[in-house]
Chains A and B, each alone.
Chain A
Amino acid sequence: MSACRGGGSAAEAEARKTGPADEGIATELEALRRVATLLAGGPRPEEVFSAVGAEVGRLLMVDVAVLVRYDLARAVTILATWTRTGAVTPPRVGSRLPLGGRNASTLIFQTGRPARIDFADASGPLADAHDGQIRWSLGVPIIVEGRIWGGVIVAYGSATSMVADAESRLAGFTELVATAVANAQARLELGKFVGEQEALRRVAMMVARAAAPEEVFAAIAAEEGRLLGSDLTVMFRYDPDQAATAIGAWSRTDRPIPCPAGTRERLGGQNVISLVHATGQPIRIDDDANAREGPAEVTSDCGIRSAIGAPITIEGRLWGAIRMEFSPDEPPPPDAETRLAAFTELIATAIANTNARAALRGFAEEQAALRRVATLVARAATPEEVSAAVAEEAGRLLGAHHAWMTRYEPDGAARLVATWSSTGAAVPAGTRLSPGGRNVYTLVFQTGRTARIDGSPGALGPDCEIASELGVRAAVGVPVSAGGRLWGAMVVSSTQEEPLPAGIEARLTGFTELAATAIANAEARAALAASRARVVAASDATRHRIERNVHDGAQQRLVSLALRVSRLKTVLPPEATELTGHLDRAAAEISRVLDELRELARGLHPPALTSGGLRPALKTLARRSAVPVRLDIALDGRLPEQVERAAYFAVAESLTNVAKYAQAGVVDVEARTDERELRLCVRDDGVGGADPGRGSGLIALTDRIEALGGRLGLRSPPGGGTTLRVALPLTTPPEPR
């Protein structure tokens, strides 16, 4: 091994070649010892680098010595430099230069071996940096844990000063550097590991206590930002429409965050968020010109030069990204994007949990909301009640600002059946939305399918003035079909620029199907009630007609006949006793027929009901009851004819049943009205145990009462008497629609 002295002149170069070998070895060992001593103190790698640079420079009498670090992005970062004379300008410490071309750094990186370059054939950005000042350069790799970590590059201004075995002599130093780096790296890794673990633990704890997602996202931005020393860290979620929404942001300074949570940025151009979206890979942009090229970045405002980004992948899908921006004074560490990506991956797991939890909670809430509506439907609530519930539950659950249940008119106009608003700007039910125009309810009417309009100031259509007044900008409409035809539409809308969440249509459908069921049920019920009412009315009309015919026809004729028979007797000679006897029997027979006819007519249609109303009719019933009746009647004048008739038949049927089955001592009959309904109660003190399905009488009665929108309840515990309760609305039931 030759001894050398540092120097740039020809004389010094000569001295390097001819120096005593022992002295050279001693010098070299001394230099190695100094570096090793330094290493033992556990210095920062930067100190080691500058010590190594200085020792190597002096020992090998180079003009420039440089320590470089390779990173994944095929570039080197200058870690330390040493110059002997200052005649050659070394690259700036901390600068980052791309690999490529023919130069020592690039060759070392490509081959993993020492490289020697004559600058006559050198090329590439690293060579260009020393244009004209360098003749030869020599590089030796620094291998840390089997991987190329970096290199020591030395350079000479003249070809003559080149040392023959410089490579092997350098190698001794690079091994020390490698040791220092490995140690430092181990310490650093440990520090990072601890920091990351703590950050992760904090995030995980937030997730575990089911913190709101926005809180978790803000915490993640802060933790990652602190870990990597960024100035501004923003977490984004990618939207389906080539845009990203900031969901959490952190700034090291007190400066206002230029893109707080909720900010939306469109994708495109050479910027971190767009590039991560395009590649799904971590990205690093050092060039501030590039960083500012696309619309997504706002770096210039903060004087931020460098940015890194890493994807957030959840369940195999690119979900979002983290962007970190760094000030020119503190550029990101060389492996920052790799660390960011690794940490982000851990974070993604936490987010996935948060997502799953939120989804689960959302699902549970949705199920609860649907269950509440379904209960209403099961209770046979009116379509108006169900619509109101659907509007509120769906609106609240889906985070809409307005939720309307509309019903179509034949011309396509939409009548608001029920409305709900989170803003308090309620639109009254009954409002009519004009037909036509570009709006979701018209689209649903025209296509019979779901419709969506996003991000339009007139999302509910230019013709929908109400929507414009409300400032609706996004709307979704879902058809409501009942009985196989389009009945109406559920319309939810938002006043925010951003579109309503994807999939909202499917979630709405769960609600609209329930509403449709309620509507179909109500229509079927109304149709059934109307049909029953028609049957009852037709039957009543027939009975009334027959009763009149009996009274005014058959009865009159029979009375006339009886009169003639009776008078016939008066013209017979007194001795015609046999004939007189025949006539008497005929008269008696006619009289019995008349009695029977009268009873028949009364059963068909009680005359007392027509002439005097319910009170005298019930009194007649009570008088004729086989079981004593206590009447308690508190009626306010005459009631609707159908109500009186239904009440009469209810009491008549009950008294008949009491006489037949109850073995009762007394029956209490109560009839009273309030402003809304007539309530009847027939209660006996008999044996009870009556079967509600017994006999056609009660079934016919149920039909009659339900046809009027009334209710009938029978309670008959064994041994506890029988109580029939009937409530009949005093208003006529609504016509089926």
Chain B
Amino acid sequence: MLLREGLASLLIGSSFDVVGRAGDPEELLALVRSHRPDLVIVDIRMPPTRTTEGLEAAQVIRRELPETAILLLSAHIEVEQATELLASGRSTGYLLKDRISDVEDFLATLDRILKGAAIVDPALVQELLAARRVDDPLEDLSPREREVLTLMAEGRSNAGIAHQLWVTEGTVEKHVRSILMKLRIPEAPDDHRRVLAVLAFLDSH
């Protein structure tokens, strides 16, 4: 409630048009169906059990209104929840609630989601990459390739990665190809499926 109002206030102040605020999944779905917003921001913990109701509501929205961008906020991060959401389609984000406080970054993330990106919280990617593995395939990667993989997993496009690393997009493409080959991850037709493939790889190794 407190957070929702703070968030709404932030969005209004950042030239977003907040068309509705809901306290439970039913209310949320009713609002979404009537207002057809561009973006829905959902807390994964909603009444009645405050476990995964938000995720379920997001899935319903995805099925009914696939064009609606969805940002799922969570108090903690789980790879299963991330992949479940990302598997439903593009224009998707899965972030820790904490990310709201970094206002600029947060608003930029919203923009990317609205433009179709699939975004995964860096903390989750960090956890996946940091996991100790027996015969770790990631050991074959160069430090640069690791950086690129991290950004891929977070849902950055090649352009985004190039921008982030101050390199050309061509360089990024080279790295990406090398990474996919080394890890034997199949090429994905779009960024959001690439995120899924990378997450699936990291989760299963």
Contact = CB atoms under 8 A, between A and B. Distances in A.
B76 interface: yes
Nearest to B202: A623
A31 B97 CA distance: 147
A662 interface: no
B133 A628 contact: yes
Contacts of A625: 132
A567 interface: yes
Contact of A619 (B6, B10, B52, B203): B203
- The interface centre, meaning the residue of A559, A595, A622 with most chain B CB atoms within 10 A of its CB, is A559
Contact of B101 (A565, A601, A602, A611): A565
A551 B78 contact: no
A552 B103 contact: no
Nearest to B98: A594
B79 interface: yes
A252 interface: no
B128 interface: yes
Interface of B: 2-3, 6-7, 9-10, 13, 45, 50-52, 75-76, 78-81, 96-98, 100-103, 127-128, 130-134, 136, 203
Given A557-B2, A562-B101, A551 B75 contact: yes
A563 B75 contact: no
Contact of B103 (A567, A616, A623): A567
Contacts of A622: 131
Given A548-B50, A563-B101, 12 more contacts: A552-B50, A559-B6, A560-B3, A562-B98, A564-B6, A565-B101, A566-B101, A607-B51, A612-B78, A616-B79, A620-B79, A623-B131
B50 A612 contact: no
A666 interface: yes
B80 A626 contact: no
28 contacts: A552-B45, A552-B50, A552-B75, A556-B3, A559-B6, A559-B97, A559-B98, A559-B101, A560-B3, A562-B101, A563-B3, A563-B103, A565-B101, A567-B10, A587-B101, A590-B101, A591-B98, A602-B76, A607-B51, A616-B78, A619-B79, A620-B79, A622-B131, A623-B130, A624-B127, A628-B132, A628-B133, A666-B134
A563 B107 CA distance: 12
A598 interface: yes
Contacts of B76: 551, 598, 601-602, 607
**Interface size range of chain A in the complex:** 35 or more
Contacts of A623: 127-128, 130-131
A570 interface: yes
Q: Is the interface of B mostly helix, strand, loop or mixed?
A: helix
Identify which of B80, B81, B100, B128 gathers the most chain A CB atoms within 10 Å of its CB.
B80
* Chain A interface mostly: helix
A267 interface: no
Contacts of A626: 132
A288 to B, nearest CB: 101
Given A566-B101, A567-B103, A628-B132, A611 B52 contact: yes
B11 to A, nearest CB: 11
Interface of A: 548, 551-552, 555-557, 559-560, 562-567, 570, 587, 590-591, 594-595, 598, 601-602, 607-608, 610-612, 616, 619-620, 622-630, 666
Contacts of B13: 567
A611 B51 CA distance: 6
Most buried by B among A552, A557, A601, A602: A552
Contact of A628 (B51, B96, B103, B134): B134
Contacts of A607: 51, 75-76, 78
Contact of A560 (B6, B45, B52, B79): B6
B203 to A, nearest CB: 7
A602 B7 CA distance: 25
Nearest to A594: B98
Contacts of B6: 559-560, 563-564
A616 B128 CA distance: 13
A150 to B, nearest CB: 114
A592 B127 CA distance: 17
Given A556-B3, A628-B133, A620 B97 contact: no
Contacts of A590: 101
Contacts of B133: 628
A635 B76 CA distance: 25
Nearest to B52: A611
Contacts of B96: 598
A559 B100 contact: yes
A563 B7 contact: yes
A458 B78 CA distance: 72
Contacts of A551: 45, 75-76
A610 B100 contact: no
A565 B98 CA distance: 13
Given A570-B103, A624-B127, A612 B80 contact: yes
Contacts of B101: 559, 562-563, 565-566, 587, 590-591
Contacts of A563: 3, 6-7, 10, 100-101, 103
A638 to B, nearest CB: 13
B80 A616 contact: yes
Closest 4 pairs (CB-CB, A-B): A562-B101, A623-B131, A551-B75, A628-B132
